[in-house]
Structure 1
Amino acid sequence: MSARAGELAKALEFFPALNEIAFVRHAFVARIPGIDVATDRAAALARLEAAHRALRAELGLGEKSFATAEQVHGDKIAVIDSAASAQHCFKGADGLITDQPGVSLGIYVADCCAVYLVDPVRRCLGLVHSGKKGTELATVEKAIQGLQENFGSAPRDLIVQLSPCIRPPHYEIDFASEIVRQARRAGVEQVHDGGLCTASDLARYYSYRAEKARTGRMLALLALRD
């Protein structure tokens, strides 16, 4: 591994609850060192693209179709039922669900929560962008419903993992705790949240609020192994 690759790898975080699932690959890409992202979202993502692409390859996801969502703070869930349809950004969507092993799901966040959903029984999964507005719209519950309707998931079988996100006192509401409540209300028994706040650790995470909207984006990644 090159020195630069080693530096990039330091940005990778993994969740113990998802590490236990042998057929799933996942990661949460935190702040990338050495890249100036003090700009708008589009420019910041363009500057991060090469590093994110290299990390996807390092994780064994480089050959998979990469699906992302437009992330409009809504509640639309895109259903990906073929790898061929996945290589693009799904307009109007804030969540992605699939049962296709040839697909890697990606969600960008910088204070909002990336919510990972995995069904170890039906071997399907989802990734959701949920901040204040998305949580008010119960977007995670809609993704759970989508897994039920499209892939036959039973909520009791699902494993749900929350990413680091902004929390009080750096934000006026605790939408992470509401996401947990919504998942449990939908019937999920295994809900995991490490409780980390993005605005509390700017050396590790990007924060839209703390950095006055001029910052980068973390990248949540989730895929089925081939």
Structure 2
Amino acid sequence: MTGVESGVIAPLPMEKFAALEAAPGIIHTFLGRVAGLDVQVDRAQALQRLDSFHRTAREELGLDKRHVIVGEQVHGREIAIVDERTPAPVAGVDGLITASPDVCLGVYVADCCAVYLAEPEKRVIGLLHSGRKGSELGITTAAIERMRTEFKCDPAKIVVQLSPCIRPPLFEIDFAALIVAQARAAGVTQVHDCGICTGANPDRYYSYRMERGKTGRMLALLALRS
């Protein structure tokens, strides 16, 4: 991992997931901790300090011309269907679904899970912010149902990938297991969990709990290839 030296923007660790790499027509990444960057501030300040790094990552992925859409992330289960005309951030939602190749979906996390959904045949993607509350409210179930009813997606053809997130014993609830169970109950057979705990890997990830709320945010990005 490259640190921040002399004010020069260092490359971000851009993680990829094998299941999404194998899905045709999908661009994705999970952006981790920037070594050496002081983010022991509130969320707004942390995101401001991370912004140039995140913009550089989008450029490297060829997504710098896309309309980037994020949700307000209120720890709920509401989901928005979005396209290039949608203003961002989208108020009151934790989930985003699109069939537009002109947008890039984004989710910020720091212990919560970023849940990637992709149906390559229909060219429909979704990205969810799912922590304890969102998982217990069933945001993954709701997203799969929206993809099925509004885009005619077959759940058996949807790929679901879970990002790193906090897990027991560092957190009292295994909400990653709940997300996996909900996806399978909805008919998804291609469910993949990286199994990595953010709290146990402070050199790679930000952890809201372990850093007592003064920390940065990882960024999940998901888009369709043009």
> Quick check: TM above 0.5?
yes
Structure with greater helix percent: 1
Match of 1:197 in 2: 197
Aligned pairs, number: 220
User: Aligned-pair distance for 1:150?
Assistant: 1.6
- Give, in whole Å, the separation in 2 of the partners of 1:106 and 1:34: 24
Per-residue CA deviation, residues 39-85 of structure 1 (Å, 9 max, x unaligned), is 111110011011101111111110000000000000100101x3122
Match of 1:83 in 2: 84
| Amino acid corresponding to residue 83 of structure 1 in structure 2 | E
Match of 1:8 in 2: 11
1:38/1:214 contact within 8 Å kept: yes
User: Are 1:168 and 2:168 an aligned pair?
Assistant: yes
User: Aligned-pair distance for 1:22?
Assistant: 2.6
Secondary structure of the residue aligned to 1:96 is strand
| Amino acid corresponding to residue 172 of structure 1 in structure 2 | E
- Give, in whole Å, the separation in 2 of the partners of 1:121 and 1:189: 15
**TM-score, normalization by structure 2:** 0.95
1:8/1:33 contact within 8 Å kept: no
Query: Where does 1:1-226 land on structure 2 (aligned, <5 Å)?
Result: 7-9=10-12, 11-80=13-82, 82-85=83-86, 87-226=87-226
| Amino acid corresponding to residue 113 of structure 2 in structure 1 | C
Per-residue CA deviation, residues 76-116 of structure 1 (Å, 9 max, x unaligned), is 00101x3122x511000000000000010000000000000
- Give, in whole Å, the separation in 2 of the partners of 1:138 and 1:103: 25
User: Aligned-pair distance for 1:149?
Assistant: 1.7
Identity of aligned residues (%): 52
Moved over 6 A (4+): none
User: Aligned-pair distance for 1:8?
Assistant: 1.5
Secondary structure of the residue aligned to 2:202 is coil
CA RMSD of aligned residues (A): 1.1
User: Aligned-pair distance for 1:134?
Assistant: 0.2
- Give, in whole Å, the separation in 2 of the partners of 1:225 and 1:120: 10
Secondary structure of the residue aligned to 1:201 is coil
2:24/2:120 contact within 8 Å kept: no
1:74/1:137 contact within 8 Å kept: yes
**TM-score, normalization by structure 1:** 0.95
- Give, in whole Å, the separation in 2 of the partners of 1:185 and 1:111: 24
